[in-house]
Amino acid sequence: MNLRTVGERLRELADGEVALERSLAPLTTYRVGGSAAVVFEPASAQDLLHLPTACISAGVDPAEVPVLPLGRGSNTVFSDRGFDGIVIRMGPSLSWIRGGQDDSTRVAAGAATSLPFLANWAARRSLSGLEFTVGIPGSVGGGVRMNAGAHGGAVADTLTSVEVFDIAAGAFIGIPARELALDYRRSALSEKQVVVAAAFELLPDEGHAVRARMESYRKHRAETQPGALQNAGSTFKNPPGDAAGRLVEAAGLKGHRVGAAQVSDLHANFFIASPGATAQDVFDLVQDVRRRVLDRFGVELEPEVRFVGPFDSPVASVGAAR
Ligand SMILES: Cc1cc2nc3c(=O)[nH]c(=O)nc-3n(C[C@H](O)[C@H](O)[C@H](O)COP(=O)(O)OP(=O)(O)OC[C@H]3O[C@@H](n4cnc5c(N)ncnc54)[C@H](O)[C@@H]3O)c2cc1C
């Protein structure tokens, strides 16, 4: 599949930026990983229409082209060998918020809008329902795809619908939230469905009460979690009735290292890429911790972080726990 030709055609057609062989590390919070064949940052939602056209003119079936929509990269680890496909990066042109006027509780936001920015915007209008996103360093699109959640709340609680660009169909489609099969950190969206906007139904509340909840969430995070750099938040989903971090800690793995990747000393479900770490280090650490937790407790942890591109199988021998 000639992705370079697709990228060149896209560059001729689109208003947004099209980069060939662009490094992906700066586009994620982990700051590791190789390059993508093409990174497309659309200048508007309409600019996405040029992607299937570019594929067809390069003799590539849009339904077959490997694509990955990317928000703020706060839940994604790209392989050191990169991604042999097209990354669609949702940039500033898709960061906007509308609604919340004249007592309206309906709010719409562009896919690239920062979740904490949206939470603060809603709080200023005394609207409740998105407070839990205040410490989630992702975008609205990534939040929908992952059904991001914290402090007992999740995107699914207030999301009413999304507007999606379907690359295979070459068309924009409105999808009601009930059709997205939103569940614990999952949705039915495929990589070929790029969320361009999301609509939420919020609840009126006292502004000071909304702000107080956000402040308590912020404080809790600051005390219990490392910051947003060089990690992607919770590495594993919590298994039913338990917490992944509790299991990792109980297995004696706080501070455990593989290469230059390390289980956080502060929160055992956060894995940190220290300076010099590779994406493979992070992958190996995840596999190693999974294996150790399975051996010790018989619980198979499921990664919440998304690994994209080729990774080598787990190494046979890994660094010892500190
Ligand atoms: C310090 C820290 C704390 C975190 N805390 C939490 C937390 O409390 N709760 C929680 O749920 N998560 C948490 N996360 C993880 C992450 O922030 C969320 O999953 C967030 O929703 C991801 O958004 P993103 O834009 O960064 O997604 P990305 O990493 O860019 O993408 C994640 C997935 O969404 C897809 N995607 C992104 N944008 C779109 C789009 N426009 N259309 C379709 N698909 C798209 C990608 O293809 C990928 O599959 C945390 C991360 C960090 C670093």
> Is the per-residue pLDDT at 127 higher than 90?
yes
State the pLDDT at residue 197.
98
Burial of 241 (0-12, 13-18, 19+ CB in 10 A): exposed
Judge if the beta carbon of residue 69 lies within 6 A of ligand 1. Answer: yes
Predicted confidence (pLDDT) per residue in 176-223, tens digit: 999 999 999 999 999 999 999 999 999 999 999 999 999 999 999 999
Question: How is residue 88 written in tokens?
Answer: 């669609």
Q: Do 83 and 197 share a domain, yes or no? A: no
Domain boundary among 54, 89, 124: 89
Domain co-membership, 216 together with 318: no
Q: Do 216 and 100 share a structural domain?
A: yes
pLDDT of residue 318: 39
Q: Which residue of the set 89, 234, 290, 292 is catalytic? A: 234
Q: How far apart are CA 281 and CA 270, in angstroms?
A: 14
Q: Is the pLDDT of residue 317 over 60?
A: no
Report yes or no: 248 and 270 within 8 Å, Cβ to Cβ. no
- By most ligand atoms within 8 Å of CB, the mutation choice from 29, 39, 48, 70 for ligand 1 is 70
- Same domain for 244 and 288? yes
Q: Give pLDDT tens digits for 245-300.
A: 999 999 999 999 999 999 999 999 999 999 999 999 999 999 999 999 999 999 99
Domain check: are 75 and 101 in the same one? no
Q: How many independent structural domains does the chain possess?
A: 3
Rounded CA separation 247/189 (Å): 30
d(CA 87, CA 103): 39
Give Cα separations from 65 to 38, 43, 55 (angstroms): 11, 21, 8
d(CA 136, CA 276): 25
Q: Which of the following is catalytic: 185, 186, 211, 296?
A: 185
Query: What pLDDT is attached to residue 103?
Result: 79
Q: Report the largest interatomic distance among the alpha carbons of the chain, rounded to a whole angstrom.
A: 62
- Per-residue pLDDT of 170-188, as tens digits, reads 999 999 999 999 999 999 9
Q: How far is the CA of 267 from the centre of ligand 1 (A)?
A: 19
Could you list the residue range(s) of the whole structural domain that residue 198 is in? 94-224
Q: What is the pTM of this model?
A: 0.96
Residues 63 and 81 in one domain: yes
Task: Decide if 246 is catalytic.
Answer: no
**Comparison of pLDDT for 227 and 308, the residue scoring more:** 308
What is the average per-residue pLDDT within 68-81?
98
Q: Which of 197, 224, 251 delimits the end of a domain?
A: 224
CATH of the domain at 73: 3.30.43.10
220 and 231 fall within a common domain = no
Of the residues 51, 75, 272, which should be mutated to test ligand 1's pocket, given the most ligand atoms within 8 Å of the CB?
A: 75
Distance CA 265, CA 72 (A): 25
